[in-house]
Amino acid sequence: MPGPAGSERPGRRLSRRALLIGGGTAVAAAAAGVPIAASLWPRPPVESMRRASPFTIAHRGGSADWPEMSAFAYARSATFGVDALEMSVSRTADGVWCGVHDGTLDRTSGTTGFTVAEHTWDEVRRHLIDPPPGRPDQPRRPYWRLTDLIDRYRSSHALWIDPKAVAQRFYTELMSVLVGSVPKPAEVFVAKSGAENVLWAELAAAHGIESWGFYYGRQLDADPDFFARTQRPWTMLGLDWNASAAHWRSFTADGRPVVAHVLTTDSARRTALRRGAAGLMIAGIEEILG
């Protein structure tokens, strides 16, 4: 029986999409009611993502469910049919970009003062990523490089890349990694960051790459001019799902897609959709898309 408006769970639609991308067979396409000819030429990942309603992004690969930004987390979230995978990257002392959100391994591996920028990749990968809070039954998992993510998923998923804890002097290098890794980077990547980081959005724009700047309602309350100062270069906007209804009305009236972040429960998903979210940044993959 259909639920109330805006409450339909996306799992069935997304699982069907995953089947078509993963199998790519005419039989699967026909079973899903998709024209066979269309199934033989899949759309580029960013275009496919933008056509989904709502489109879904696995936050750090599903940070509420599995060791964040591990190969295992991305593989698991992909089985749930997400449209995009997000990685927040740090840079090692020997120039390797890897999935580390904080710039240190302290939160994710229990170290003390282990700053990624001061260590080589060989030193980083000696450590393992802890499972998320509340999931102690899971094994720890290895850290993963950005190039590994790109090599495995560039044909199937839009890849949202955030230079979270990296000095801005390395942004050009990071953009060069993205642009040099695929023939058409605008078809694969989305540049993601906090909305104040306009340099990252501008670098993306120079290469025709989509960008997503995220906001919090508390920022907008504390500084009424914050949006006006930072919004221009971003092609998509983000707002926390529990920001005020007034902020959501303002953002959706802007005309750019608004992605709700960061969702861990299905209740949060329902609220985001009621408020007009075009996309969902999801940490709780199992609950929301299961």
- Choose the weakest-confidence range: 31-40, 51-60, 66-75, 158-167: 31-40
Task: Give the pLDDT score at 40.
Answer: 56
Tell me the residue range of the domain where 94 lies.
43-289
Query: What residue has token string 């005419």?
Result: 26
Q: Single out the residue of 261, 226, 259 nearest to residue 242, CA to CA.
A: 261
Handedness of CA 261, 266, 270, 271 (dihedral sign): negative
- 15-49 pLDDT, tens digit per residue, is 334 333 333 333 334 444 444 444 556 899 999 99
7 occurs within a structural domain:
no
Closest to 121 measured CA to CA, from 89, 85, 168, 167? 89
pLDDT beyond 90 at 151: yes
CATH number of residue 204's parent domain: 3.20.20.190
Residue 141's H or E segment, with its range, is: strand 141-142
Terminal Cα distance for the chain, rounded: 18
Could you tell me the pLDDT band of residue 116, with boundaries at 50, 70 and 90? Answer: very high
Residue 102 is which amino acid?
D
d(CA 173, CA 19): 35
Name which of 7-16, 194-203, 237-246 the model is least confident about.
7-16
Residue 176 has pLDDT above 80, yes or no: yes
Query: Per the domain annotation, does 239 fall within a domain?
Result: yes
Transcribe 10-26 into DSSP letters: SHHHHHHHHHHHHH--H
Q: With respect to residue 71, please indicate whether it lies within any of the assigned structural domains.
A: yes
- In the chain, how many domains are there? 1
Residue 140 has pLDDT above 80, yes or no: yes
Type of residue found at 159: L
